[in-house]
Structure 1
């Protein structure tokens, strides 16, 4: 009898290995298809089968899956964005081709383009920041003048905060526009820039499975112009009214975009006028979000997502109730990492649930102002928010490193 396999298209730095482990716990053989498998270190560490294939081409993936079906029973297909933001839509079409569970390809396409997404949500009456689409520096400048500074300037298609910046004044606007339209930022299609009004207020990340809101996390980006999360807290401390209004607007997003299969992550801010939606992503949030949920309530969202992908019933019942928080470790300069230590000591602090370092000595550190700046994270959980934060501070203080700046 052929062994059941789950196909993972591309990988993910923070949660890719969690998908491998969860798949194996469910008795599945995980197989990764990637344009460049060597970029995912955990594949070699785990000894997982990986196949090099152009993941932006649907016909190439169909051909490879047909080849794999000669050896395996393919139980399901899912994956991650990888280097090409069209990959999630390609995955949904692949599922449709092989008659496997998956989201609606048209809905994924609508979400992938943030300008199209903004238009659909605005027409449905979902509260959104003012926005304009720009194709060149003149358009960006004109859009910012009409909307009013400060504004967020970002690619219309992208993830992980790549190319996203808060511009407070004309100089910052010009600088970031030159960066996006210059040689350093890589576009996989014609440049399309979204300029939107900065919605001021606390940032929240809403996690949904199907049409059910599973939880809401608070996100702290600090006071910098790049949107690199520094601390995450799950569940967020909200009043009953705040929770209800965030729930209502989140469900309105699902209805407007015609999504509701599998996981969805919605980013929004609580402003003076209530919740304002920043963007909707039809996937699990990356980073530390799944680990936070598991530390806070004992639910393995990744395992439950895989169960859905292979056509099984999921189980989101909470096993316990705690307040979990994650601190993201961000270097304060570029250079060569001389050494980093303290992770074992931090992990030994009571109520610390996980300590993870992404780097090793002699690694070049080049900050990009997005998710790739993280060199690690620490997660702690306890019954009380103040206690959790105190535990987290104790553990963070034990981590230390040295970076020699580049000459």
Structure 2
């Protein structure tokens, strides 16, 4: 009998890529990663996981490779840890008659302007928004909506290119950055100009048509949206929890989602929950780890079960409070050293400490997920205790960055 395999299209160097491989092995599957550049995923070579070089932006090439693999293995499922490939995953799954997401729904959801249109048509509460293809459009849209506004590429992830513009100067500066050739576009240049919704930030984890839980998150200082801390589950009143859950389910219906995982970002504003973004995928690291620590539910394993035709099990096995702190640099320069991870990991209640960087790495802050140096995760039966554990561990971690020389030095 042929060995059952799970095909992963691309990986994730700092996120869920390795977790998908480990979860697949835990289910008795043989994980195979298809990538345009397997070498960019260090974990593949480190543990000698099977990887095949293929143009992952070419659907026909992927179909050919999967067909060849089907002569050797029993292809149980196909998925990806990256949103950028989810529409392709949907097409592959349909071609090979495997369970998977609706590619049309995924494509529409990944276009932030189209997503806003569909949510608005379904009366889902969202910020005021406009689409812009040039600087004049941006200026006009900001005048209609009123400053401050958020500028973000219509297609993208990880807060890349996203900035809060509080006045005309910041608006002009970021518009010039996005349209002036510095920003690398994944699609034709198009900006979403959006009202800045103020209020606490929450995210809902859904699987299929069920809201599993709601977490709280916090960004670092403006004007960028770089995550600072996550807490799971969020402390909410019954009214708030019900409101967020109902709006989240409305998003799934409006966008034609409901297969597999979804992560929905919202803010609780003066008018209640307002949807900031619907991501038709699992939240990135450390989101899945927090859910597993808090509830005992491994979302990655449950996603793979769906992708291979099995039923998922979202039954909560326990209840704890889990939290994560993102480690971020306060300056640009050369990372001289970073340490304390072993001491932090030894603190009772700490679940994981991870560094993304090595000494002598150039640090250039981008104002997005690439600014993360690493993270610390902790969990305990109470929120106060978890916060104390997390702070104690973070206090044991330190690093040194030597600023880049200035002109004339």
Counterpart among 198, 208, 229 of residue 231 in structure 1: 229
Correspondence for 1:369: 367
Cα distance in 2 for partners of 1:92, 1:69 equals: 18
Separation in 1 of the partners of 2:277 and 2:367? Answer: 19
Report deviation, 1:98: 0.2
Match of 2:381 in 1: 383
Aligned residue pairs total 404
1:188 corresponds in structure 2 to 186
Report the counterpart of residue 55 of structure 2 in structure 1. 54
Structure-2 separation of matches of 1:183 and 1:37: 28
What is the distance in 2 between the residues matched to 1:182 and 1:33?
34
Q: 2:100–2:259: 8 Å Cα contact kept in structure 1?
A: yes
Q: What is the deviation of 1:117?
A: 0.6
Give every structure 1 segment of 4 or more consecutive aligned residues whose post-TM-superposition deviation is greater than 3 Å: none
**Could you list the per-position Cα deviations for residues 26-74 of structure 1 after superposition, in whole angstroms to 9, with x for gaps in the alignment?**
1111111112212211111121111121111111100111111121111
The alpha carbon displacement at 1:340 in A equals 0.7
Q: Is 1:3 aligned to 2:13, yes or no?
A: no
Q: Is the 8 A contact 2:148 2:164 kept in 1?
A: yes
Residues 35-54 of structure 1: matches in 2 within 5 Å? 35-54=36-55
Aligned-residue offset at 1:106: 1.1
Q: CA contact under 8 A between 2:20 and 2:81: conserved in structure 1? A: no
Any stretches of 5+ residues in structure 2 without a counterpart?
A: none
Deviation at 1:308, TM superposition (A): 0.9
Unaligned runs of at least 5 residues, structure 1: none
Partners in 2 of 1:188 and 1:253 — Cα distance?
A: 25
Mapped partners of 1:43, 1:77: distance in 2: 18
Which deviations, in whole Å up to 9, do the C-alpha atoms of 1:7-39 show, x marking residues without a partner?
Answer: 101111211111111111111111111122122
Residues 252-306 of structure 1: per-residue CA shift (max 9 Å, x gap): 1111111100101101100011000011111000020000011111111111111
In the TM superposition, residue 312 of structure 1 has moved relative to its aligned partner by 1.0
The 1:189–1:222 alpha-carbon spacing in structure 2 relative to 1, beyond 3 Å, is closer
Q: Is the 8 A contact 2:216 2:234 kept in 1?
A: yes
Helix, strand or coil: the match of 2:253?
A: helix
TM-score, normalising length: structure 2: 0.97
Q: CA deviation at 1:81?
A: 3.1
Between the aligned partners of 2:103 and 2:328, the Cα distance in structure 1 is 36
**SS of the counterpart of 2:227?**
coil
Q: Secondary structure at the match of 2:249?
A: helix
What does residue 108 of structure 1 align with? Answer: 106
TM-score where L is the length of structure 1: 0.98
Counting only pairs closer than 5 Å after superposition, residues 182-331 of structure 1 correspond to structure 2 as 182-331=180-329
- Residue correspondence of structure 1 range 6-21 to structure 2 within 5 A: 6-12=6-12, 13-21=14-22
The equivalent of 1:173 in structure 2 is 171
Query: What's the offset of the Cα at 1:183?
Result: 2.1
Q: Which residue of 2 aligns with 1:353?
A: 351
User: In the alignment, is the contact (CA less than 8 A) between 2:7 and 2:77 conserved in 1?
Assistant: yes
Q: CA deviation at 1:197?
A: 0.2
Distance 1:336 1:49 in 2: 34
2:125 corresponds in structure 1 to: 127
Structure 1 residue 406 displacement after superposition: 1.7
Of stretches 46-55 and 348-357 in structure 1, the one that deviates more from structure 2 is 46-55
Structure 2 counterpart SS, 1:230: strand
8 Å Cα contact 2:323/2:390 also seen in 1: yes
Q: Taking structure 1 as reference, are residues 81 and 14 closer, same or farther at Cα in structure 2, changes over 3 Å only?
A: closer
Find the counterpart in structure 2 of residue 403 from structure 1.
401
Give the superposition deviation at 1:355: 0.8
Match in the other structure for 2:331: 333
